[in-house]
Amino acid sequence: MSPVYPRLHLEGTSYEIGVAHGTHLSSQIRSQIQIYAEMFQQTSKLSWSEVHSVARQFQNSLSKLLPEIYEEMTGIAKGADVDILDIIALNARSEIALGLYSEVSDGCTALGWKHYPSSERDEVILAQNWDWTPRVQQNLAMMSISQPGKPQIYMITEAGVVGKIGFNSSSVGVCLNAIRAHPMDTNKLPIHIALRLCLESTSAQAAIEKLNTLGGVASAQHILIADPCGPLCLELSPLGNVVIHPHDDAVPGYIAHTNHFLQNKFVKEAKVWLPDSPIRLQRINQLAYDLTLSSGTRRVSSRDITNDALRAHIFSDTFNAPVSICRFGDMTRPETTRSTTLFCIVMRFSMNSDPWAEVVWGKPESGATEEVCRMPWFEVHL
């Protein structure tokens, strides 16, 4: 039986949203602080007070650039009865873990796929396995957020983190792939804040423009963003961004990404951070191509690529295990930096229907029908 994760619906002012988040996930937030304190101490020799020093630099920029989101984080700290710098550190944990070159592992694999018009409808798929240290799995939550004048957000996030993987009522969705590269700039936006801004946008193009207007992101990362017009790879860095469109040669309307830059040459990536990343990218591209062949045509309709098919034929793949698309903990690494698949999400967007998604907690081959969770959900548990 799949674990039961909190499902929160948050609404009101930014501060009220934050207080409700912090109150209902207070124990999980405290657990997160302990997990990341141990991770940064082991991987970077950073004490939590030194992590606070980095967070304080982000505090100055966030309070000026995004006062509403800063107010929400202030509310989270109040609700959880922790320091505001704790919450900022959780939201900037990718910058601390990767932009400062900590010895951590990752492994997320994501795809976007716009199907060409069928007899029924045109549809866009956005999907990924999210891989990270299994210690945080107990602190994940499904969250919907209602804010005046903005799309409704549906996302899976870590307790205390204001933006992550999911979609909104305007059919804008995001996936995340970590990249490890210098530099890191605390005057810019942590990637999880950038994800939240994307989820507050009414189109992928509007999200890109918003990120550019605010000065870009603080560390090298990749966001796979999609709306009903199709998917785009955003290879982001403090020194410059590159937008990659799907290539229509092997699989029309399709694009995938793992944990290394494909075209962004503005930054210098760490050498051989994840040697399996190119292997996983080649593998997912081959599996997607094979899936189109099994449907009998390369120009497949949305009916041909079901969520079950994606989970079974792509996201459950164990080629090159333990560092496969479906990732297993590499037992040669310390527990604090061991990465495994924590959930699989498949989102679907169309001009003709409401957006929706399915989530399988843990490894996607465990996704028996009764273990597949639908987003949006009909019941809200606080």
Q: What is the pLDDT of residue 45?
A: 84
Same-domain check for residues 184 and 142? yes
Q: Is the dihedral of CA 45, 270, 106, 223 positive or negative?
A: positive
Is residue 329 assigned to a domain? yes
Boundary residue ending a domain (66, 99, 132): 99
- Among residues 99, 118, 148, the one where a domain terminates is 99
Beta-bridged to residue 335, according to DSSP, are: none
Residue 104 lies in a domain: no
Domain membership flag for residue 4: no
Has residue 91 got a pLDDT over 60?
A: yes
139/284 same-domain check: yes
User: For the domain that residue 339 is a member of, what is the CATH number?
Assistant: 3.60.60.10
* Residue 342 and residue 254 share a domain: yes
What pLDDT is attached to residue 43? 79
pLDDT (average), residues 314-341: 87
pLDDT-based confidence at 119, cuts 50/70/90?
Answer: very low
Of 99, 123, 154, the last residue of a domain is 99
pLDDT given for residue 42 in this prediction: 83
Q: Could you tell me which of 304, 250, 58 has the C-alpha nearest to residue 162?
A: 58
Bridge partners of 378, per DSSP, are none
Lowest mean pLDDT among 85-89, 117-121, 150-154, 292-296: 117-121
> Residues 290-302: pLDDT tens digits?
988 776 555 555 5
* Residue 202 DSSP class: S
Per-residue pLDDT tens digits for 20-46: 999 999 999 999 999 999 999 887 788
Give per-residue pLDDT as tens, 202-237: 999 999 999 999 999 999 999 999 999 999 999 999
Mean pLDDT of the chain: 90
Q: What is the mean pLDDT of residues 49-56?
A: 96
pLDDT band at residue 122 using 50, 70 and 90 as cut-offs: confident
Same domain, 159 and 232: yes
Is 266 found in the same domain as 284?
yes
The number of domains in the chain is: 2
The more confident residue out of 80 and 367 is: 80
d(CA 157, CA 139): 9
The pLDDT, as a whole number, for residue 295 is 61
User: Do 52 and 127 lie in a common domain?
Assistant: no
Same domain? 220 vs 331: yes
Same domain, 91 and 120: no
pLDDT greater than 50 at residue 373: yes
CA neighbours within 13 Å on the CB side: how many for 220? 24
Specify the pLDDT at position 317.
97
Phi, psi of 247, rounded to the nearest 5 degrees: -95, 130
Are the CB atoms for 357 and 375 separated by under 8 Å? yes
Full domain range(s) for residue 42: 11-99
Q: Is residue 3 part of a domain?
A: no
Q: Model confidence at 381, in pLDDT bands (50, 70, 90)?
A: very low
Write out pLDDT tens, residues 148-173.
999 999 999 999 999 999 999 999 99
pLDDT at 101 over 70: no
Is residue 365 a part of any domain in this protein?
yes
- Report the C-alpha gap between 189 and 238 in whole angstroms: 9
